[in-house]
Amino acid sequence: NAGVTQTPKFRILKIGQSMTLQCTQDMNHNYMYWYRQDPGMGLKLIYYSVGAGITDKGEVPNGYNVSRSTTEDFPLRLELAAPSQTSVYFCASSYSGAGPLFYGYTFGSGTRLTVV
């Protein structure tokens, strides 16, 4: 199993450019998440999705958009990149079912983004 696959691994953007970070999982997980990690800080939730067609904002959603058209894919879109979006981005997925059923929190390998 590939798990959670993120692309690209590295990217340099100029201020004002746009890009899409791709994330796909092959574990049939219903939940997917996007986090950013800044130096010395804990991971912060940008957006998450509880299933295809359903997305919601996390702690730091400004400047980002997401979509979830399939169970497998959860792309993150950056519009008008700004230096404050320089960070490492992680996609993750998990399965949550009835009651306390929860398992499989799995992270992608990360995307290191620099906005100059």
Partner 1 sequence: KNEVEQSPQNLTAQEGEFITINCSYSVGISALHWLQQHPGGGIVSLFMLSSGKKKHGRLIATINIQEKHSSLHITASHPRDSAVYICAVRWETSGSRLTFGEGTQLTVNP
Residues that bind partner 1 (CB under 8 A): 31, 33, 35, 40-45, 48, 50, 58, 88, 90, 92, 94, 96, 100, 102-103, 105-107, 109-110, 112
Collapsing DSSP to helix, strand or coil, 45 comes out as strand
Q: Which amino acid is at 4?
A: V
Closest CA to 32 of 81, 104, 85, 112: 104
Distance CA 84, CA 22 (A): 20
Smallest gap, in angstroms, from Cβ of residue 37 to partner 1?
9
CB of 41 or CB of 62, closer to partner 1 = 41
Q: Which amino acid is at 61?
A: P
CB of 14 or CB of 40, closer to partner 1 = 40
CB of 36 or CB of 78, closer to partner 1 = 36
Q: Are 68 and 32 in contact (CB under 8 A)?
A: yes
Smallest gap, in angstroms, from Cβ of residue 5 to partner 1?
12
Smallest gap, in angstroms, from Cβ of residue 115 to partner 1?
18
CB of 64 or CB of 90, closer to partner 1 = 90
Distance CA 82, CA 38 (A): 14
